Structure 1
């Protein structure tokens, strides 16, 4: 078994970058704990404020191997910033994440997964339906992007940016899901809501019974409510420290 390179960047980067690294590594561990990972594929990225630099996972590492120090720092042109970095990154992930970071400067974090339920709902013509409270959170800020093959073509970036617009939730047709957040905790909470919404939709549809569809007026009004009590100051910001405690309890090595 090949051992991973041992890296310690804690005292070699700014305090701000280090905290982002710890939170991002925790997010990768949480994705693994929730079963949202896909071997070594999919990504979470975060822009370092005041820079054109993005942190992303090293290609080839399991999500439960991600640490604050082994995250890879890249610029918007796809160059690894640290010359002595022993890792590479996935170019397909860079296409998607660089595209959204280029146009969403107020949103630091982009989270992308390939969960079965999100792929299933993204593959339906109707997309996400207003069947549950979780779907309401997502539908209040939802967009779609058609499948164009593996995301390695720079020409796709503009279409992805246009489709995303100002939304915080996106279903990538026949592919998976993407969420945005002003913080890593916000992007994580958005994905939690979207995955739950997709899971519930698949379960409801599997009954073969006629569902109750919630009205558009409820969707229109729920975003303001959610900002206050769910993913806002009393919701997401409360949930994220609790999630950090869970990761520290499971395996504190993520913060190294």
Structure 2
């Protein structure tokens, strides 16, 4: 009879500040929600968050599925990927290359989400990329960039090109690779990825129909991002939607907050 491997029990609640603990809970919830949305890729892809007032970051432990991530087993690292806390876990150094590149130059990017969803890979990898076929796409297009594929992200020389390609944008499609969003909070980055993902899903569905899309007047395309800012009381729906998403994560499985 085979033995099911178990994770070592961890609890850091009494070892970190209240501010760091709240961030850990938000980021762990984000991992569980990504798993729930079926955006995950086994143990691969990553989401990171900067601990306020520091150059320290939280990221997932390498080897855990996203439904195993908890606030306590997130790993604290610096920009070099050095592990800073007492944990039995390691991180995926290749994965953190992308995150460290962005955190290094974008002080506003407190959270970075990078996922390998089939729809973002598909749209990133076709000529023309994302098109204004849906309202969701128009939320992403005003702040969208692209990064060409260079293989596995293990080369430090790629970091500078990634930084240059991202610039000041908040959404990125990585050709042959996936999607990426950044935000000042976990909720903002999550909602930006939601919009980008939904835009790509709709575009893939529309293009499979072999019918011409209904064009949207350019004036509407140009203005819809500003309209969304008014509706969401900010540049994304993060502040409005995230509390509901956090409640959903608790309903799904409250163990993420341990």
TM-score, normalising length: structure 1:
0.97
Q: Aligned-pair distance for 1:235?
A: 3.3
Q: Does 2:26 match 1:20? A: no
Whole-Å separation in 2 of the counterparts to 1:45 and 1:28: 10
Residues 71-121 of structure 1, C-alpha deviations (whole Å, 9 max, x = no match):
000001110011x21000011111000000111112210001111111000
Q: Does 2:207 match 1:205? A: yes
Q: Does 2:83 match 1:80? A: yes
Q: Does 2:64 match 1:61? A: yes
Alignment of structure 1 residues 122-133 onto 2, 5 Å:
122-133=124-135
How large is the Cα RMSD of the aligned pairs?
1.3
Alignment of structure 1 residues 1-256 onto 2, 5 Å:
1-82=4-85, 84-230=86-232, 232=234, 235-256=237-258
What SS does the corresponding residue of 2:27 show, helix, strand or coil? helix
Long gaps (5+) in structure 2: none
Long gaps (5+) in structure 1: none
Which region of structure 1 is more displaced relative to structure 2, 190-199 or 230-239? 230-239
- On the 8 A contact 2:189/2:238 being kept in 1, the answer is no
- On the 8 A contact 1:47/1:54 being kept in 2, the answer is yes
Which region of structure 1 is more displaced relative to structure 2, 210-219 or 175-184? 210-219
Whole-Å separation in 1 of the counterparts to 2:146 and 2:127: 11
Whole-Å separation in 2 of the counterparts to 1:81 and 1:117: 35
Q: How many positions carry a matched residue from both structures?
A: 255
Whole-Å separation in 2 of the counterparts to 1:39 and 1:167: 28
Which region of structure 1 is more displaced relative to structure 2, 204-213 or 191-200? 204-213
